[in-house]
Structure 1
Amino acid sequence: MAPKQIYGRCSVFGCESKKLSTFVAPSSESLRNQWVHFVFDGNAPTRLPKCVFVCAKHFTDDCFFNLGQYRAGFAEHLKIKPGSVPTLPASATNRGQANTSTDYIQLHLSRDVACQTDHVESLKTHTVGTQLSFRTLRTHIKSEGVQATVFCKDFGVGTSNADPLCLSSSPVKKPSKRPRVDLEEELEANPLEGSSLVEASKGPYSTYDPSDSITALLDSTLKSEDSSTATHNGKKYMVYESCIMELFNACPVCTRACEVTTQRLGTFLSVKQQCPHCTFGRRWNSQPILGSTPAGNLHLSAAVYLSGASFLKIEKVFKAMKLQLFRYETFRRHAKSFIEPAVIHQWKVLNDLNLQRLSQEEIVILGGDMRADSPGHSAKYGSYTMMDLHTNTIVDIQLVQSNEVGGSAHMEKEGLKRSLALLESRGVHLDCIVTDRHPQVQKFLRERNVTHYYDVRHFAKGISKKLLAISMQKDCEKLKKWMKSINNHIYWTAAGSTSGPERIAKWTSILNHVRDVHVHEDPLYPKCEHAIRQTSDRSKWLQAATPTFSKLEKLLTNKRALKDVAKLSPHHQTSSLEAFHAVILRFAPKNVVFPLLESCADSTWLLCIQITMWTDHRPKQRKEYR
């Protein structure tokens, strides 16, 4: 069955046909695949549009039933033969429009001379040229130029030895005038932009093909890729539409008014200038083309993604300023096809270097902690992060989904388990690990005989909350004055001790110190190290056998508190890891639902790359992460 003729815009990128017959892709699977392969130049997207249109100028003459009738004017539409496949790309069908402005100037001179007998010899034309009216001659000369879009035979109106000229057997109608500034609606449904997928191991610009159909838009402009400056490093400017149109309103050859048409694709603008008087024409593009994607569209998507900004907020800013922008679906297509593969590749390279370095070190101290995508016990995703506490570099990140482990409470243990398995497979030998006091993590590391320390800040935070609650009770207000001293004592105990029993001895000495007793019974810490001071104000000291002291003693000497104090980290803490989790909120906010688990992972890996770069150049980029 022959493809149906239907009204629609040609899906071949770069094709500008307006009134030619357009055909929809046939329903036959094999033929439809050939059509799709031609339209997308072999890089068909995963999600195809509902209808794929191809105009008549992409088919050869033998594909039509009534080509002769159509050219003679006896048929209004072309009829295509069953089994026909388009083979003529946009660059081939528009070759007549690919001439530079210099070629148009030569045609203009030929047209003027054709009406004057003084230059007949130089043009080698017959005198029959002077017998035609100016309008008739002008029409034929214009058709000889570049506006004939189908192959035709010579017609004996006048002889010419100029090879580029081709006279049509039927006069070409003058295109109807359009408004000077006619911005077309953006074709976001057209999957041509960003349809060339990039593998993770390739660069985002590896799909560039000079023979791509989009190059038809670049024949009359200079390629910015030829310059010594990379496209993404060049300066960009915000230009108003009225200022652009001032450059194309007048013909640079005859200085008369021109017909100006525009095409827009996101932030990309293509301006076509055609002079109806001297046949001068040219095309100007606001951005270079990378493969099949305008560079500005891709660079803007990358800037939004890599800076951790929100596309929806950027879209509101653009809308307020009347700046042209592509839609969110295009942004996600750019991220999936170009940006995220580059982020994954870069993260794997940096991670391999870090693991290789750690495998060669004798003492490796890591810190681990999990960040959930939402507070409370209803988290769906969790990212467990392992950091080298010597260099503050991220070693590994494991993303865990709650339904994998039977609930959000088990995600932290699973993330730690996966990270340790990876480190063992890469030959990294742990000296110790610093985490919070998660019960499942404690049991898991104890069974694996891994030296485990607790982060001091987490312990001090829990003790401070309980002290504050006690100080707000009746007859316990005096305890509030000791809260800061007790909090400092926690850090001093962890940093100044070499073993668990010594930490416990120093920790319990605070109960004597608050009663103005500075000699202790424990031989591991027999007396306070500060100088003995005499004070006349005895009201600040606590008294034994009082409710305040009894509650304080019960809090500081309970079994769980003494057990945790013995395992407080004497050296590195997880404060850098907590700061990393705080910065993740910029790239992966908790109130944003990511479309896929990989998107959340890419945002986290992207921050890891930035943190690693910041760690390597800390003096220069300190302000960036204040």
Structure 2
Amino acid sequence: MSRRKCFFGCEGKLNLFASPKEESTRQYWIQFLFAGQQPTVNWFLCSRHFSEDAFLNRAQYEAGFSARLLLRDGAVPSVKGRVKESEALASSSQQTPTTRYRHIGGQTDPLPTVSVATQFCHQMVSVGTQLSYSTLKNHVRSKAVQVSMCNTAGTEPSQQDTRLKLSSTPGKASAPSLGVRPAKRPRLELQEEEEEDEKKCSVNAQPHDSTNDLDDSPSEMSGMESTCDYTDAKYIVFESCLRDLFQTCPVCRWECVVQQRSLGTFVSFSQRCPNCQYTRKWQSQPIKMNTPVGNLQMSAAVYFTGASFIQMEKICKAMNLQMFHYDTFRRHARMFLEPAINHKWKTDQQKLVEHLKEKDKIAVGGDMRADSPGPTARFGSYTLMHLDSNNIIDVQLVQSNEVGGSSNMETEGLRRGLDFLEAHHLNVDYIVTDRHAQVQKYLKERNVEQYYDVWHLEKDLSQQLENLAKNKEYLVVRKWLPSIKNHIYWTATASKSGPEKVAKWKSLVNHLQNIHKHEDPLFPRCTHPDRVSRDPNKWFQPGSSALNKVEKLLLDKQILRDVEKLSHDHQISSLEAFHSITKHFTQKNDVLSFIGRLCRLYLAAMHFNENAKRDQSTSLEGKAVYRIMFPNCRTGQYITNPIQMEPTFQYVSDLMKLLFKKIFKDPTRYIEDLNKISIPEDRWTQFERP
């Protein structure tokens, strides 16, 4: 077995190093030694051909604490030719310059003479600058791109950690999250999968979950922090187009070693030329506190607009658009998004309460919406609205198992809402609700004046009359359905007095028989002019079965009591419109946690309050615009609805600003406020898990 020797024939006490296993570094060694010729087998280099910073333990070795020098990963030789031991010592102590060569087109040209101990590094950081003409091939302007370049002669850069660790949450404040142990903060880390090639190395990383402490984050992340704002415009860029920017060295036109790292919507490229040692780093989005801003903003955009992450993920997968996992989205929601929503809603609610305190008494409307039809509803949300301004005052979310069943959720939600108004010293003049029996009993016990919404009564009566009109003998009932509906609204709004409402309601039976004089002293005669029709088929015949059926239905004792309490001034149609808005933010079939559903209800309330007083759209001539709708296609009857102006989404911009300006920096206080909300136990906790 032959004795190992240095490739350049150096003599004396030597520390020999074999060719590295890393392909890109190995190719540089071969180019440095053989200048493009066929390499020999079993060749070694001694420590005299490397700069001082190429070793891990140079100081320990010279002090006698280490028997052998250890070469850094990725270190490359910098000194050619045979070097004697005395020359090596002199070079180390007196900092004598050395000469490096580069091989281009069969010619060997000397590189600039630079000291081994003192390395020259020219570094530029440019924001909103132009990339090199050689890199871009054509003159292309790069906007808001940070580029870091380092041209090094006489040495190689120090060891670089090829493992880039990125966290989905920032490195500040170990605040407790909802249902998560606060001991450690969740992190995401990149693992690289290397693809070896003769001239280039491309590393694609896939994210995975880990629970490393934030203190373990590499110092490399501090250099990648940037000042780009979250309001910057974003674009969809293909990976192949990005790679074209980094494949060729802008200095010597050699093909570079390119490392790619990705985490969700984030991607970064590290470029290094094996010939002239030109280096550059580029990232697709700013990083703040170890978190890519684009990932967090994507989660915020999905949540704040009431969209579904599952649907968004399907869209991204369909076009191969890189996206982070659902666990990351939920981590963003717990740590930042839900605290932001809760804080903004409480702030807006407090401003509305302070404004309503200026009034002596307020008229409110209340109604509940369940998360699923029937008695199996898990959640019920009760909403209180200020009827004069159509603003949502309060939203209470009730879980069925905490009140003994879904039938009790509406009463409990109303109680919590009224307690909120009393706690903030708001005096309720009256409340408009539906005709729920438990609500009637509770408001009577609480001594709160109650009125009924007209639409709920009209809906119940219309359904019964339509069922009656299905019989061929009662076809005349169908002709009178529109008039009976209009009479209900006219009766409610014509007078505030309950007995007068009942008298006007009873006059409907006389109208059906073409009689316009009444026996009631409060309402002896109709106010409209008499119109006598000669067609007997338009009227109910006295003593007929159809008249008896309709009269029995309209003059029922319970109906008369409800008519007496119909609301004369305000209705809760706007509250029904709010329930339609909540369908977008909280689908009935969505599986959401208690806090998740509550925050989405807050978003729906913020959206509704912002757009509650939209003006009606007008044409170019200044005329109001309407749309024709057919609510019941079977009858062919249509209605006209005014078209309002397009809604605004200023609350989303406010939430984004709150998130990145305050909560993202230190979410501790906001998480503590969210944790103050009482969360009931899930229904299945009472059963033993198999």
Length-normalised TM-score, structure 2: 0.64
The aligned residue for residue 602 of structure 1 is 599
SS at match of 1:509: helix
Output one character per residue of 1:513-545: Cα deviation in whole Å (capped at 9) or x when no partner. Answer: 110000000011111111111222121110121
The aligned residue for residue 82 of structure 1 is none
The aligned residue for residue 373 of structure 2 is 375
* Distance (whole Å) between structure 2 residues aligned to residue 282 and residue 167 of structure 1: 14
The aligned residue for residue 299 of structure 1 is 297
Letter in 2 for 1:603: R
Q: 2:220 aligns with which of 216, 222, 233?
A: 216
* Distance (whole Å) between structure 1 residues aligned to residue 307 and residue 102 of structure 2: 66
> Is 2:447 aligned against 1:424?
no
| Residue 356 of structure 1, CA deviation | 1.7
Letter in 2 for 1:598: I
Change (3 A) 1:619 1:550: closer
The aligned residue for residue 188 of structure 1 is 208
The aligned residue for residue 44 of structure 1 is none
The aligned residue for residue 414 of structure 1 is 412
The aligned residue for residue 523 of structure 1 is 521
Letter in 1 for 2:537: S
* Distance (whole Å) between structure 1 residues aligned to residue 510 and residue 247 of structure 2: 91
* Distance (whole Å) between structure 2 residues aligned to residue 542 and residue 169 of structure 1: 100
The aligned residue for residue 23 of structure 1 is none
Alignment of 1:345-364 (within 5 A): 345-364=343-362
The aligned residue for residue 609 of structure 2 is 612
| Residue 176 of structure 1, CA deviation | 9.2
* Distance (whole Å) between structure 1 residues aligned to residue 96 and residue 226 of structure 2: 42
Q: 1:510 aligns with which of 499, 508, 511?
A: 508
Change (3 A) 1:143 1:183: farther
Residues 361 and 426 of structure 2 are in contact (CA less than 8 Å); yes or no, is this contact kept in structure 1?
no
| Residue 473 of structure 1, CA deviation | 2.4
Letter in 2 for 1:235: A
The aligned residue for residue 250 of structure 2 is 252
Output one character per residue of 1:400-426: Cα deviation in whole Å (capped at 9) or x when no partner. Answer: 111111100000000000111111111
* Distance (whole Å) between structure 2 residues aligned to residue 414 and residue 517 of structure 1: 47
Output one character per residue of 1:178-224: Cα deviation in whole Å (capped at 9) or x when no partner. Answer: 585845242231357xx98xxxxxxxxxxxxxx994772463x7833
* Distance (whole Å) between structure 2 residues aligned to residue 567 and residue 499 of structure 1: 9
> Is 2:486 aligned against 1:488?
yes
| Residue 575 of structure 1, CA deviation | 0.6
My pick for the range that moved more, 611-620 or 320-329, is: 611-620
Change (3 A) 1:69 1:493: farther
The aligned residue for residue 26 of structure 1 is none
SS at match of 2:485: helix
| Residue 70 of structure 1, CA deviation | 7.5
* Distance (whole Å) between structure 2 residues aligned to residue 132 and residue 351 of structure 1: 70
| Residue 125 of structure 1, CA deviation | 6.0
| Residue 126 of structure 1, CA deviation | 3.9
Change (3 A) 1:489 1:142: farther
SS at match of 1:252: coil
SS at match of 1:431: strand
> Is 2:567 aligned against 1:569?
yes
Q: 2:437 aligns with which of 436, 439, 442?
A: 439
The aligned residue for residue 663 of structure 2 is none
| Residue 470 of structure 1, CA deviation | 1.1
Output one character per residue of 1:279-300: Cα deviation in whole Å (capped at 9) or x when no partner. Answer: 1111100000122211111111
The aligned residue for residue 622 of structure 1 is 645
Letter in 1 for 2:607: Q
The aligned residue for residue 28 of structure 1 is none
* Distance (whole Å) between structure 1 residues aligned to residue 458 and residue 65 of structure 2: 87
Residues 181 and 262 of structure 1 are in contact (CA less than 8 Å); yes or no, is this contact kept in structure 2?
no
| Residue 616 of structure 1, CA deviation | 6.3
Letter in 2 for 1:224: T
| Residue 130 of structure 1, CA deviation | 8.5
* Distance (whole Å) between structure 2 residues aligned to residue 132 and residue 487 of structure 1: 94
Output one character per residue of 1:224-253: Cα deviation in whole Å (capped at 9) or x when no partner. Answer: 34xxxxx22211111111111111111112
| Residue 328 of structure 1, CA deviation | 0.8
| Residue 301 of structure 1, CA deviation | 0.9
Alignment of 1:330-341 (within 5 A): 330-341=328-339
Output one character per residue of 1:322-358: Cα deviation in whole Å (capped at 9) or x when no partner. Answer: 1111011111111111111110000000111111222
Alignment of 1:124-135 (within 5 A): 126=96
> Is 2:274 aligned against 1:276?
yes
* Distance (whole Å) between structure 2 residues aligned to residue 72 and residue 339 of structure 1: 49
Change (3 A) 1:619 1:224: farther
Change (3 A) 1:613 1:176: closer
Output one character per residue of 1:446-490: Cα deviation in whole Å (capped at 9) or x when no partner. Answer: 111111000100000000000011111241111110011000000
* Distance (whole Å) between structure 1 residues aligned to residue 68 and residue 109 of structure 2: 25
Residues 142 and 279 of structure 1 are in contact (CA less than 8 Å); yes or no, is this contact kept in structure 2?
no
Change (3 A) 1:339 1:212: farther
Q: Which runs of 5+ in 2 are unaligned?
A: 1-20, 23-54, 84-93, 122-151, 160-193, 618-643, 650-690
Report the identity percentage.
41
SS at match of 1:187: strand
* Distance (whole Å) between structure 2 residues aligned to residue 143 and residue 479 of structure 1: 104
* Distance (whole Å) between structure 1 residues aligned to residue 589 and residue 322 of structure 2: 28
* Distance (whole Å) between structure 1 residues aligned to residue 586 and residue 544 of structure 2: 50
Letter in 2 for 1:187: P
CA RMSD of aligned residues (A): 4.2
The aligned residue for residue 556 of structure 1 is 554
Letter in 1 for 2:241: C
Change (3 A) 1:624 1:191: farther
* Distance (whole Å) between structure 1 residues aligned to residue 452 and residue 291 of structure 2: 51
* Distance (whole Å) between structure 2 residues aligned to residue 619 and residue 353 of structure 1: 27
SS at match of 2:240: helix
Letter in 2 for 1:623: E
Output one character per residue of 1:567-611: Cα deviation in whole Å (capped at 9) or x when no partner. Answer: 0000111111111111111111001111x2000000000111122
| Residue 141 of structure 1, CA deviation | 9.2
Residues 79 and 100 of structure 2 are in contact (CA less than 8 Å); yes or no, is this contact kept in structure 1?
no
| Residue 69 of structure 1, CA deviation | 6.3
Residues 143 and 168 of structure 1 are in contact (CA less than 8 Å); yes or no, is this contact kept in structure 2?
no
* Distance (whole Å) between structure 2 residues aligned to residue 268 and residue 217 of structure 1: 14
| Residue 68 of structure 1, CA deviation | 3.8
Letter in 1 for 2:645: R
* Distance (whole Å) between structure 2 residues aligned to residue 352 and residue 479 of structure 1: 51
Letter in 2 for 1:386: L
* Distance (whole Å) between structure 1 residues aligned to residue 241 and residue 598 of structure 2: 44
The aligned residue for residue 669 of structure 2 is none
Residues 469 and 475 of structure 2 are in contact (CA less than 8 Å); yes or no, is this contact kept in structure 1?
yes
SS at match of 2:282: strand
* Distance (whole Å) between structure 2 residues aligned to residue 58 and residue 454 of structure 1: 83
* Distance (whole Å) between structure 1 residues aligned to residue 158 and residue 308 of structure 2: 58
* Distance (whole Å) between structure 1 residues aligned to residue 466 and residue 594 of structure 2: 40
The aligned residue for residue 671 of structure 2 is none
Residues 218 and 283 of structure 1 are in contact (CA less than 8 Å); yes or no, is this contact kept in structure 2?
no
Length-normalised TM-score, structure 1: 0.70
* Distance (whole Å) between structure 1 residues aligned to residue 154 and residue 252 of structure 2: 22
The aligned residue for residue 458 of structure 2 is 460
The aligned residue for residue 495 of structure 2 is 497
The aligned residue for residue 33 of structure 2 is none
More strand by share: 2
The aligned residue for residue 260 of structure 2 is 262
Residues 270 and 285 of structure 1 are in contact (CA less than 8 Å); yes or no, is this contact kept in structure 2?
yes
| Residue 389 of structure 1, CA deviation | 0.8
* Distance (whole Å) between structure 1 residues aligned to residue 304 and residue 456 of structure 2: 32
* Distance (whole Å) between structure 2 residues aligned to residue 315 and residue 321 of structure 1: 10
More helix by share: 1
* Distance (whole Å) between structure 2 residues aligned to residue 618 and residue 405 of structure 1: 41
Letter in 2 for 1:216: E
The aligned residue for residue 394 of structure 2 is 396
* Distance (whole Å) between structure 2 residues aligned to residue 533 and residue 423 of structure 1: 51
Residues 111 and 141 of structure 1 are in contact (CA less than 8 Å); yes or no, is this contact kept in structure 2?
no
Residues 214 and 292 of structure 1 are in contact (CA less than 8 Å); yes or no, is this contact kept in structure 2?
no
| Residue 614 of structure 1, CA deviation | 2.0
Change (3 A) 1:625 1:567: farther
